[in-house]
Chains A and B, each alone.
Chain A
């Protein structure tokens, strides 16, 4: 049974756990994005690296999450760092694929026009290619964020789970209310994050809403 009194008396702890969950997610996606961006530019500059980089990201992506966290413990302990190494690893494949697709999707004629009108390479990148790649990059960030919010729960096995902790404790003490509350909050978090990112994405790409009349 769901016990309202348990929820009422644990509001501060639940807020803390939600906050931890958000921090774990934001840091993981932020670091993942920075890394992916750097790696994507590397691939963009040197095509030959694409196989190796995407290959490694792909292998990381296939390692079962529980196993990866357990594997990291002997090296980095039951720490925030262990959690982040795992979480970031899972964002790489998603983000790199989307960033590359975004840049590859920039029409050739637009790039040619930009060159022909006298854009320098850096300026072309920042004010033409990046904005045009943005819709796909944002799509990647949305998938990565929602995936990470789910994975943070698994990081509870190394004591870094945010709302996952609440659920694990619920299992251990046969407290259904804790299990369900944790689960509902995680789902809510994922939905809120997805909607917020989608909205932000639309705000920064006003042209993608403008369709032929």
Chain B
């Protein structure tokens, strides 16, 4: 499937304008209230609503497709008030993914994914074609999965089907309510990565709800931190929220490990890579040895014909005569690419024999090196100290951040 088939880059802006939702006091099991929420999500961006339980994030989301009607205020989609649109037609134009997925147990996976096209009255042939496209898009082999029922799938597979179903009619907006909350951490991470890759092609406007700040920072182009009572505490890019939290609440919610989180936002491509001293298998030893000794780094990187890493040779172990052979490159160090986060890179380096990560391109050829010192320098360079002391001394009124 090519990107052109899937993506028409249809996306809408979504704007909350002074949106308030109140519930009667004493009413049971009501979702969180929302207090005068104003924010604008530009077309094609992911906005994550994050906060403790009862902060009104899910309420805010459900007001966009009018599963919940606001008490006051407006939600504008491409400038038009959602309240003025036919509610059924509005919902068919908005993809909706929920934590429990909510697949129809009585329908096959193929039927499930084309739910909205079916409601819209597409022809059978077009529905079928679309079902195959969508399953392939989310990484499920259509021939294998099309005729199965939801009960025959794993949690992660079901969640993929949920995403495929939400994308079926190519809606300009997607609402995702803890979409990866019900799967184990390993599957969650894979689904998150796949979804981000998909979004690069699709460029939908996405509102994404989570209680997990790490997920918010990872998934969001913009993050709206909400606090109990439905108050917007900060609305900014993830890096800004980590570097300069707007209030104590935000700082506490983000956590004391802000620095580590910032590293998970930045990638190897943000660093200026170090150039390694390399030599090809078959090169003359004496020449390679001379070049390695001239450099401050104590190792020579042995590469093959295609410039792919073979292994490290300590500069003292390079023979003085003869030619380099493949067996000389004994120790290896972690391979990473430009998209590897600094957090992952550092973690890989801490475990490695030679503390330099080898950055390779798509073909596996060496581009450069990353060392732990380079990461530490970069962190120092980019840090912004908040103008209040947030995480050191326990605050007298400190309230626990509840992770629902």
User: CB within 8 Å of B: which residues of A?
Assistant: 107, 109-120, 123, 128, 131-132, 205, 207, 210-213
Contact = CB atoms under 8 A, between A and B. Distances in A.
A206 B216 CA distance: 40
Contacts of B115: 117
B96 A211 contact: no
B149 interface: yes
A109 B119 CA distance: 19
B231 to A, nearest CB: 26
A205 B151 contact: no
Contacts of A132: 104-106
B88 A120 contact: yes
B84 interface: no
A202 to B, nearest CB: 13
A209 B129 CA distance: 27
B9 interface: no
A114 B101 CA distance: 11
A207 B105 contact: yes
Interface string B89-113: 1111010101111111111000000
B148 interface: yes
B65 interface: yes
Interface of B: 65, 67, 88-92, 94, 96, 98-107, 115-116, 119, 148-149, 151-152, 165, 175
26 contacts: A107-B100, A110-B104, A112-B67, A113-B102, A113-B103, A114-B104, A115-B67, A116-B67, A116-B98, A117-B92, A117-B116, A117-B165, A118-B88, A118-B116, A118-B119, A119-B88, A119-B119, A120-B88, A128-B104, A131-B106, A132-B106, A207-B149, A207-B151, A210-B148, A210-B151, A212-B151
Given A107-B100, A207-B106, A118 B92 contact: yes
A25 B306 CA distance: 82
Contacts of B90: 118
B89 to A, nearest CB: 7
Of B65, B96, B116, chain A has the most CB atoms within 10 Å of the CB of B96
Closest 7 CB pairs of A and B: A113-B102, A109-B100, A118-B92, A118-B91, A116-B96, A109-B102, A210-B149
A110 B105 contact: yes
B91 A115 contact: yes
Contacts of B103: 110, 113
Tell me the interface secondary structure of chain A in the complex.
helix
Nearest to B93: A118
Given A118-B116, A205-B106, A207-B105, A113 B96 contact: yes
B152 A212 contact: yes
Nearest to B120: A118
B102 to A, nearest CB: 3
A213 B91 CA distance: 34
A110 B88 contact: no
Contact of A117 (B91, B99, B107): B91
A114 B116 CA distance: 10
A194 B151 CA distance: 27
Contacts of A115: 67, 91
Contacts of A212: 151-152
A59 B67 CA distance: 41
A49 to B, nearest CB: 22
B113 to A, nearest CB: 11
B98 to A, nearest CB: 6
Given A107-B100, A116-B67, A119-B88, 7 more contacts: A107-B105, A110-B104, A112-B102, A116-B175, A128-B104, A207-B149, A213-B152
B89 A118 contact: yes
A23 to B, nearest CB: 33
B399 to A, nearest CB: 30
Contacts of B165: 117
Nearest to B165: A117
A142 to B, nearest CB: 19
A107 B96 CA distance: 17
Nearest to A212: B152
Contacts of A109: 98-102
B304 to A, nearest CB: 43
A119 B67 CA distance: 12
Nearest to A116: B96
Given A117-B115, A207-B149, A210-B148, A110 B91 contact: no
Nearest to B150: A207
A101 B98 CA distance: 25
A154 B158 CA distance: 52
Given A107-B102, A110-B104, A132-B106, A117 B152 contact: no
A113 B116 CA distance: 11
B266 to A, nearest CB: 35
Contacts of A112: 67, 98, 102
B79 to A, nearest CB: 22
Contacts of A213: 152
